[in-house]
Amino acid sequence: MRKLEVLKNLLVQDRLIKFNLDLLEGLLREIRADIEEIKILVESCLEGEEKESLLRTLADFEANFKSLIVQALDYIYDLYEIFNFDITFLSNIPEELGREIERLDAVNSINKNLETLAKALEDIVSLADRDEKIKVILTPLLVYREVLEHGMAFNQKLAGGAYVF
């Protein structure tokens, strides 16, 4: 029975890591186009110092956010390589494999990376609190924040066994 439990945990961890890689790769693919769209909206909906300030903030945010996504992706790819190596190396020793999966602590380490991204988003979307126009303009970033929050919650539920298969 223990072998089946280890196998189930192994398969859940594998899917969890892949899901998060897909999530971050998707964000990386979309962020540039969404920022360009937001800049066009800023140009057409805002004026003066408010427009210039938001454009500068967006430029800084884009560079930082893309860098954070790349760092998170690198970290999770490294985690996945270690995970796969451990599976191969320890496949005949289920007890050790189970302990190694726990030691890797994929959920918490992935969620720490997602939290960093969510914090960067929170810093920019907090600008939406001051003006309804800015809130509408920043809608794509508000959606990104929600996606990251749901991703972190999903990771926790999946790893905690909240989903019954």
User: Where residue 1 falls among pLDDT bands split at 50, 70, 90?
Assistant: very low
Structure tokens at 6: 């280890």
What are the extents of the domains in the chain? 1-160
What 3-state DSSP class applies to 131? coil
Q: Are 119 and 72 in contact (CB under 8 A)?
A: no
On the 0-12 / 13-18 / 19+ scale of CB atoms within 10 A, 48 is exposed
Non-local CB neighbours of 115 within 8 Å, separated by 6+ positions: 152
Report the SS3 class of residue 119: helix
Whether 26 has a pLDDT exceeding 50, the answer reads yes
Side chain identity, residue 61: F
Instruction: Compute the radius of gyration of the chain from its Cα atoms.
Output: 20
Q: Give the CATH number of domain 1-160.
A: 1.20.140
Write the pLDDT tens digit of every residue in 77-135: 998 888 777 666 656 666 666 677 777 788 899 999 999 999 999 999 998 888 899 99
Residues recorded for the chain: 165
pLDDT at 11 over 70: yes
Please state, in angstroms and rounded to a whole number, the distance separating the CA atoms of residues 160 and 88: 24
pTM here is 0.86
The angle that helices 2-45 and 139-159 make with each other, rounded to 10 degrees, is 170
